[in-house]
Amino acid sequence: MMLRLFQSLIVAAILVAGIPAWADAEVQTDYTQTRLIPEREGFVPGETTWFAVDQKVIDGWHVFWKNPGDAGLPLDLGWTLPAGFTVGEILFPVPQFIPVGPLASYAHEGEPVFLVSIAAPADAVPGESVNIVIDASWQACEEICVPEEGRFEFSVPVLASAEIRSETALLFVRARAALPVALGKPARFERRGDAYVLTIDNWDGAAPAGAFFFPRLDGLTTPAAAQTASLTDGSLTVSMEPGWTEAGDAKTVDGVLAYSRADGVRAGYQLSAAVAGSLAAPPVTLVRSANTNVAALLLMAFFGGLILNAMPCVFPIIFIKAAALMQSAREDRATVRAHGLLFTAGVLATFIFMGGLLLALRAGGEELGWGFHLQSPLVVGLSAYVLFLVGLNLAGLFTVGENIAGAGQGLASKPGAMGAFFTGALAVVVAAPCIGPLLSAPLGAALVLPPAVGMAIFILMGLGLAAPYLALSMSPALGRYLPRPGAWMVVLKQALSFPVFAAAAYFLWVFARQTSDGGLATLLFGGILLALAAWLFEISKGEGRRAIFLRAASAVAAVVAIAPLTRIETASGTATQASSAYGAIETEPYSDEVLASYRAAGAPVFIDFTAAWCVTCQFNKLTVFKNKDVADAFKQTGTVFLVADWTVRDPVITRALQSYGASGVPLYVSYPPGGEAQILPQTLSRKIMIDTLNGAD
């Protein structure tokens, strides 16, 4: 006890005498002068003491920020401290953008001051001294770069209390003023085409002068590339060029948004922006063509929608539209035109709704792609029910108004008008399971380009899908080719119910893949109740209590059929395609790690991005993957077959699709040994597969 008291008295005497208990440590090198300075006279048990690394850099030279830009090494401090003392992260001042030829540095000129804290343990003993050794290194650059280093050795006393050193107070005030301040409002970071965009909503005042975002992650952006800042409706956006670092799985992007104050002083905001969507880059060809030739993408979207009419997944809708045309043929030309316009309106409204919802969810960070609604058992079950009811209507079990999908007497007092509208809507819902030729690039671009361009792509797809029906209904010359009404139409209408029942059965199969056996039983029982509801509705036509009772019974049956679907849950885990679906080919479930391991081993790899609700996927399984020659080619070349099943929602597979510039299935990717990804056509053939596999051998 007496010894500790004696030590404290000695320290106090030294302080009273105005003689510092230790001297500031300093290292002089060729291009910098570096001092290590504490803010207080010593450590206090259980408290934090700040230290300043004060550097003076000769004119024309600079030292580096924690992300140095194209090249360089930032300040690094290697501390040797007694047990219990903990060192915090180095705080860097707001960086400067310094061009160096075609490159750029994120750096500091003049007299930068770096701050770092040391927390003393609560059991530190006043009167004792703490020996500190720091092995520091940094790099000073002009047109050439010179690594520099220094060793700092000093002792700091432990005191019962310690004041801020008056001779260094101004230095710390200046150092803290040079640090970036917390932004204080949310920010988001996203990829738009081939650019990264930082967005800060509710921005106060004008756009900051000389705004430049310095990301913490080295290589996230291209350091030398110019950045563009703009202010629109109170939202500040900073657009920048992506760099060489892959950040597809990042959840946040940290950094400093630097700007010039009115007095010319450089200041900045420290921020952590939430990543919206994925930062994974689409293929360069897709993004650059999307940015340079939007007209070509819109044209592809229109013709892709047009071709969608002939895709296997849309065959049932062709029959539905044919039946609608047969009915419209009996109407006057004005009614036929109105139905054509309403059918088109139904198609466009549904495309706008689904596309807008997809874009909005993606902007909010959801990992989704085209066909996302069919990953929900509820949507799939309701789709099966709708098609089942359409089939029952065509078969003649019940009628609603005058139209196959009618919903009352309709718009503008024209019979079946609502039916025409909802037939268009139904066409989109059932057409969505597959992406036809020409649609991969527009859909992929729609999810990364600005929302206005993305929505235009969805609208053009809808116009393409509706174009044949619209042209037939609007052109009198084409109308002459419509068959004359007659008794044969009733027979044709009934015959058309069977492909619609087939489509309903297909959705039933998809539902079974997404849910447990109990879910399938619920859907089947609900189908029986829906048929009962339709029959009760048909025989209820008329007046009186009997009609009211039958309609009420019909409504109850429909509610009892549909209500259980809201409680159906997706089967646990990701749905996996059965190996039997690929015949003799041995398959493995896809994962990023599995793909990386096989590629690292130099093995050829083939990836099938598929889903149970994708008709084109199933068609390729039946006609190509079960082919014996194709199976033999897989075996002979040693190609690994990975199945990425997207039947139910899987963020890992969604991000993988995005990395190839795709927004939906099918997608077929082949990796030759040690080579880059090759994207195959969506409609495969035996020859395409064998040629691809032999090329990978």
Q: What pLDDT digit, counting tens, does each position of 385-400 carry?
A: 777 877 787 777 877 5
Q: Catalogue the E-assigned strands of 466-524.
A: none
Is there a domain that residue 282 lies in?
no
Could you tell me if 27 and 70 lie in one domain?
Answer: yes
Q: What is the pLDDT of residues 204-250, one digit of tens each?
A: 888 889 899 999 998 889 888 899 999 888 889 999 998 877 776 77
Span 653-661, average pLDDT: 79
Average pLDDT over the chain, rounded to whole? 77
Instruction: Tokens for 611, please give them.
Output: 């889903």
Could you tell me how far CA 157 lies from the centroid of its own chain? 54
Q: What is the CATH number of the domain that holds 625?
A: 3.40.30.10
User: Do 364 and 301 reside in the same domain of the chain?
Assistant: yes
| Cα maximum dimension of the chain | 119
Q: Which residue type sits at 512?
A: A
Within this chain, do residues 327 and 457 fall inside the same structural domain, yes or no? yes
Give the CATH number for residue 72: 2.60.40.10
Tell whether 564 is covered by a domain. Answer: no
Please state the rounded mean pLDDT for residues 477-481: 61
Same domain? 637 vs 684? yes
* Pair (8, 88) in one structural domain: yes
Report angle CA 483, 488, 492 to the nearest 5 degrees.
90
Domain tally for the chain?
4
387 and 428 share one domain? yes
- Report the alpha-carbon distance of residue 272 to residue 280 in Å, rounded: 19
Distance CA 141, CA 119 (A): 33
Two structure tokens written together for 171: 């230095």
Model confidence pLDDT, tens digit, residues 148-186: 888 998 889 999 888 888 888 899 999 999 999 999 889
Boundaries of domain holding 160:
2-175
Count the residues in the chain: 697
CA distances from residue 444 to 232, 309, 455 in whole angstroms, order as listed: 26, 20, 12
Crossing angle between the packed helical segments 284-292 and 294-307, to the nearest 10 degrees? 110
In a domain, 571, yes or no: no
| CA gap 267, 121 in Å, rounded | 35
- 131 bridge partner residues: 155
- Asked if the structure places residue 516 within a domain, the reply is no
Q: Is residue 214 part of a domain?
A: yes
What are the percentages of helix, strand and coil residues in the chain, rounded to 5? Answer: 45, 25, 35
126 and 190 within one domain = no
Q: Is the pTM of this model over 0.85?
A: no
**What count of other Cβ atoms lies within 10 Å of the Cβ of residue 127?**
18
Sign of the four-CA dihedral 690, 695, 696, 697: positive
> What CATH number is attached to the domain comprising 250?
2.60.40
Cα-to-chain-centroid distance, residue 496: 41
Which of 250, 275, 300 finishes a domain? 275
Assess contact for 578 and 275: CB atoms under 8 A: no
Q: How far apart are CA 570 and CA 13, in angstroms?
A: 76
E strand map for 158-265: 181-182, 187-192, 195-200, 209-215, 228-232, 235-240, 252-260
Same domain, 377 and 489: yes
Among residues 243, 275, 307, which one ends one of the domains?
Answer: 275
User: Which comes out higher in pLDDT, residue 580 or 355?
Assistant: 355
Clarify whether residues 216 and 129 are in a common domain.
Answer: no
Q: Is 54 helix (H, G, I), strand (E, B) or coil?
A: strand
Of 3 and 149, the structure prediction assigns the larger pLDDT to 149
Is residue 527 included in any domain, yes or no? no
Position 519 in a domain: no
262 and 300 belong to one structural domain: no
Does some domain include residue 546? no
**Nearby residues of 34 by Cβ (< 8 Å), 6 or more positions away:** 26, 27, 28, 53, 54, 55, 56, 136, 138, 150
Residues 166 and 187 placed together within one structural domain of the fold = no
Closest Cα to residue 82, out of 54, 45, 40, 37?
45
Percent of the chain with pLDDT over 90: 22
Q: Does one domain contain both 214 and 324? A: no
SS3 call for 122: coil
Q: For residue 16, count CB atoms less than 10 angstroms from its CB and return exposed for 0-12, middle for 13-18, buried for 19 or more.
A: exposed
For strand 129-141 and strand 76-80, is the pairing parallel, antiparallel, or unpaired? antiparallel
Of 498, 517, 534, at which residue does a domain stop? 498
What pLDDT is stored for residue 14 in this prediction?
A: 40
